[in-house]
Amino acid sequence: MATDFIKTHEVPTQIGNILRRACYDCHSNNTEYPWYSSIQPLGWLLNKHIKEGKKKLNFSEFGTYSERKQISKLKSMKNQIEQNKMPLPFYSMVHKKSLLTSEEKNLIITYINNLAQ
C-alpha cells in the first residue's frame, strides 16, 4: 500500500522485515491470522488486540497521518520497544518469531532517533 510506513519512509529492508515480523499482525491491514484464531477465547483475545492495536497505530495508513501524529507515534514506538511493552508479551509467547533481540531493538531505536532529527 502506498501509504504504508515502510514505503513512505523508505525504511531499510532489515528494519522493515523486523516490523513486519513483530508488529504488522496487529498494526497493519495485513494480519496473518494464526491457527488459534478460531479457538476461543484465544481468537477472541487476538481479535481484540488487533482491533485496538490498529486503532492506535496502523502502519498501512501511516502516510495519511499528519506530521505531528507521525512524530508522536514514532516516539511512542520507541518507548514501547524500550520498555519491552511491544510486541505484546501474550502474543510473543505464542509467536516466538515476534521476539526482538536487543540488537534488533537497538536497530529500530537508532533508526527512529535518526528520523526524528
- Which residues of this protein are in contact with ligand HEC, per CB under 6 A? 22-23, 25-27, 49, 52-53, 56-57, 73, 76-77, 80-81, 86-88, 91, 98
Kindly tell me which of 6 and 57 has the beta carbon lying closer to ligand HEC: 57
Choose between 11 and 81: whose C-beta lies nearer to ligand HEC.
81
CB 30 within 8 A of CB 60: yes
Minimum distance between the CB of residue 22 and ligand HEC, rounded to whole angstroms?
4
Smallest gap from Cβ 104 to ligand HEC, in A, equals 9
What is the rounded distance in angstroms from the CA atom of residue 26 to the CA atom of residue 14? 19
- Distance of alpha carbon 78 from alpha carbon 81, whole angstroms: 5
* Spatial distance between the Cα atoms of 5 and 74, rounded to a whole number of angstroms: 11
